[in-house]
C-alpha cells in the first residue's frame, strides 16, 4: 500500500444526519460528534451497532460504523456515468473533498475542525438500497482491480475518538497509523 504523504489535507464539503433509519440524510451546516458514540441526533449513534442487519446478527457488538464518510470525488465519477448524487443522499454523515479516503489504511485518524477526531475502521459495504435510490448506481460504486478483487467505493466508516463540532468548510488532516499499514476491509 503506497500512501502519498503530500496530499493528506482535505475539507468538509457537507455534513448530514437523520434521527431515524433512512437511506438519505438531511444536510446541516454543522453536526456534533460525541466521543465513543457518533453523530448527535443520528440513528446510527451508539456504543453498540445500530445498522439493522448487524443488530439482527448480534445487537451487542461494538459500533464500528458510528460515522460514515464519502469522498465527493465519487459523485463526480458517477455523474460521468449519468447519475446525480448530492451530499447526504447516500447516507453519509460527512462528505469530504481532497482526501482519497479509500486508500487510507485501517486506523488512520482524521482531525476535523478544532476538536473532532475520527478513527477509520473500514469500508462501507454498498447494498441494494443504493439501487433502490437510483437504479444501476450500486454497480457504479463497485469495481474490480486487476486481480478481480472487489473494490467498494461507497465511502469509509469510523468511530469518534474525540468529540466536537464539524462544520462545512472545516479542514481535515490525516494522521496515519504506524506501519505496517493494514488495508481497509468492509465493516
Give DSSP secondary structure letters for 93-146: SEEEES--GGGSPTT-EEEETTTEEEEEEEE----THHHHHSTTHHHHTEEE-T
Over 60: is that where the pLDDT of 1 sits? no
Has residue 54 been placed in a domain?
yes
The CATH number of residue 58's host domain is: 2.40.33.20
Mean pLDDT of 90-102: 97
Alpha helices in 58-96 (DSSP H): 73-79
pLDDT band at 131 (very low <50, low <70, confident <90, very high): very high
Q: What is the pLDDT of residues 98-107, one digit of tens each?
A: 999 999 999 9
The predicted structure's pLDDT at residue 115 = 97
Over 70: is that where the pLDDT of 158 sits? yes
Q: What is the pLDDT of residues 47-56, one digit of tens each?
A: 999 887 888 8
Has residue 21 been placed in a domain?
yes
Query: What's the CA gap between 21 and 51, in Å, rounded?
Result: 8
Query: What's the CA gap between 153 and 131, in Å, rounded?
Result: 14
Count of the separate structural domains present in the chain: 1
Query: What's the CA gap between 41 and 87, in Å, rounded?
Result: 18
The predicted structure's pLDDT at residue 143 = 94
The helix (run of H) or strand (run of E) holding residue 151 is strand 150-152
Mean pLDDT of 131-142: 96
Query: What's the CA gap between 27 and 18, in Å, rounded?
Result: 9
Query: What's the CA gap between 15 and 120, in Å, rounded?
Result: 17
Has residue 183 been placed in a domain?
no
Query: What's the CA gap between 57 and 77, in Å, rounded?
Result: 34
The predicted structure's pLDDT at residue 178 = 96
Range(s) of the domain holding residue 67? 5-126+154-175
pLDDT band at 92 (very low <50, low <70, confident <90, very high): very high
Has residue 60 been placed in a domain?
yes
Amino acid at each position: 500500500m503506497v500512501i502519498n504523504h503530500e496530499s493528506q489535507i482535505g475539507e468538509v464539503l457537507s455534513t448530514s444526519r437523520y434521527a431515524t433509519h433512512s437511506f438519505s440524510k438531511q444536510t446541516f451546516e454543522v453536526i456534533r460528534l460525541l466521543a465513543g458514540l457518533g453523530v448527535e441526533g443520528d440513528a446510527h449513534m451508539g456504543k453498540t451497532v445500530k445498522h439493522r442487519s448487524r443488530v439482527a446478527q448480534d445487537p451487542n457488538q461494538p459500533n464500528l460504523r458510528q460515522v460514515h464518510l464519502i469522498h465527493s470525488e465519487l459523485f463526480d465519477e458517477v455523474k460521468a456515468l449519468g447519475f446525480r448524487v448530492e451530499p447526504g443522499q447516500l447516507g453519509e454523515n460527512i462528505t469530504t473533498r481532497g482526501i482519497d479516503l479509500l486508500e487510507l489504511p485501517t486506523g488512520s485518524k482524521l482531525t476535523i475542525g478544532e476538536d473532532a477526531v475520527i478513527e477509520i475502521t473500514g469500508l462501507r459495504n454498498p447494498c441494494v438500497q443504493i439501487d433502490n435510490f437510483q437504479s444501476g448506481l450500486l454497480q457504479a460504486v463497485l469495481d474490480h482491480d486487476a486481480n478481480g478483487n472487489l473494490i467498494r467505493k461507497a465511502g469509509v466508516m469510523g468511530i469518534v475518538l474525540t468529540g466536537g463540532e464539524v462544520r462545512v468548510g472545516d479542514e481535515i488532516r490525516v494522521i496515519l497509523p504506524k506501519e505496517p499499514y493494514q488495508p481497509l476491509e468492509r465493516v
